[in-house]
Amino acid sequence: MSPEETMVIAGAGLAGAKAAETLRTEGFGGRIVLVGDEPVRPYERPPLSKAYLRGEDDFDAAAVHDADFYAKHDIELRTSTTVTALHPGDSEVELDGGEQVRYERLLLATGASPRRLPIAGADLPGVYTLRNLGDAASIRAAATGGGPIVVIGAGWIGAEVAASTRQLGAEVTMVDLVDVPLERVLGPKVGAVYRDLHRNHGVNLRLGVGIESLSGTERVEEVHLADGSTLPATTVIVGVGVAPRVDLAAAAGLDIDNGVRTNQYLGTSAPQIYAAGDIANAWHPFHETWIRLEHWSSALNQGPVAAKNMLGISTPYDKVPYFFSDQYDLGMEYRGWAPGYEQVVFRGDPASGEFIAFWLGDGVVRAAMNANVWDQGDALEALLLARATPDPAALADPDTDLAALVDAGRPA
């Protein structure tokens, strides 16, 4: 590509930062404009609910690159700046303040915004969502004050925030309509492991009940549940999911369907425009469906793939879906895609805190999760990619080598 060409990246999170890095490592010598609405350089978000929230890591530990990286690589990092409009017909973006920036290729990596509760009292002081550094700092201060804290939502953010605030010594209650934490993704059997984990660490669980309203005078003081009971709260943290930030793309006429729809090369319906990270609903060639993941791994891996395709290096995004979570002393990695399954098989005793869980659909291993077992990741990924159909008893048997099950079910 010509050194006069310009690449614009809308969104200075992990996906955008890794895309900018990849453009340079792949030899692009033109202009790179990386636009982010936060006042700091790009950082990773998983620490916000873990080590950064607990005060164990500082900003530099969460930052994607060292402070001098962008200047050293001639990347124009525009912090505290927002892309306000896309003009695909003119190959331009508009920034707040009216500046127009012309591009040869554009990457949309605008991320997601936390969902708000549509109930009375949701805008009271002391009610937080978790998406940025300021949110994490506010929650840390509240937790070190002791609480009581009510976490609304027992998904990944809710469960991790409940764990971190409890580790900071706060009195914590977690509320959700589900019967066990993480039920929507992991199902009732594995979710029960997290129910017991949180309960054993002193979290008060109010599951299977909804929220009616929040109340207080100058700040939040009470959480009113649908069963008529009331919880005291000096702080409420809302973790009920996120919505992809697709307003720019929608206004520009791009195809929107649970995010910005892309092909396997992360190209959108508009020529020269790509999408990566939380907003990308990307066609996955292995799973043969569109998948949008709101996890660190999609930002980390899709940014570089989008950058290569922006440079004309044809590269499909075919990574096995992956995410991780650390809560208390239980660390886990989840691989695969199992929106529908019929059976869960455990290898090891979940009560011990060291086990592997497998999700099977039509006899095929669709997903696997290793919990405090750190030497089986490659074997688990191989099982998924092989579409293996091993005997469930062999999966459950710790004396059976997982690598020996990879060929199970393959045609001769």
Asked if 383 contacts 365 with a C-beta cutoff of 8 angstroms, the reply is yes
Tokens of 202: 């002193």
Nearest CA to 120 out of 222, 228, 227 is that of: 222
- Alpha carbon 96 to chain centroid, angstroms: 27
Q: For residues 295 and 286, what is the distance between their CA atoms, to the nearest angstrom?
A: 19
Helix, strand, coil percentages (3-state) for the chain, rounded to 5, are 25, 30, 45
Asked if 105 contacts 30 with a C-beta cutoff of 8 angstroms, the reply is no
pTM: 0.94
| Angle of the 296-310 helix axis to the 14-25 helix axis, nearest 10 | 40
- What band does 4 get if pLDDT is binned at 50, 70 and 90? confident
State the average pLDDT over residues 196-202. 98
User: Is 90 exceeded by the pLDDT of residue 130?
Assistant: yes
Q: Give the pLDDT confidence score for residue 2 in this predicted structure.
A: 58
Cβ partners under 8 Å of residue 106, min gap 6: 7, 8, 9, 10, 86, 91, 93, 272, 273, 274
- What band does 146 get if pLDDT is binned at 50, 70 and 90? confident
Q: Give the pLDDT confidence score for residue 1 in this predicted structure.
A: 55
pLDDT digits (tens, 9 = 90+) for 215-259: 999 999 999 999 999 999 999 999 999 999 999 999 999 999 999
Q: Give the pLDDT confidence score for residue 410 in this predicted structure.
A: 57
Edge-to-edge order in the sheet of strand 322-327: 322-327, 330-336, 364-371, 355-361, 343-347
Whole-angstrom CA distances from 373 to 48, 159, 360, 399 are: 24, 20, 20, 15
Cβ partners under 8 Å of residue 311, min gap 6: 1, 23, 26, 27, 28
Average pLDDT taken over every residue of the chain: 95
Q: For residues 277 and 299, what is the distance between their CA atoms, to the nearest angstrom?
A: 4
Q: How long is the chain?
A: 412
Domains of the chain (ranges; CATH) run: 6-113+243-310 (3.50.50.60), 127-238 (3.50.50.60), 329-405 (3.30.390.30)
State the average pLDDT over residues 374-398. 95
Asked if 165 contacts 172 with a C-beta cutoff of 8 angstroms, the reply is yes
Q: End-to-end distance of the chain based on CA atoms, in angstroms?
A: 47
Q: Give the pLDDT confidence score for residue 147 in this predicted structure.
A: 79
Q: Give the pLDDT confidence score for residue 390 in this predicted structure.
A: 95
Edge-to-edge order in the sheet of strand 127-128: 127-128, 235-238, 149-152, 172-176, 204-207
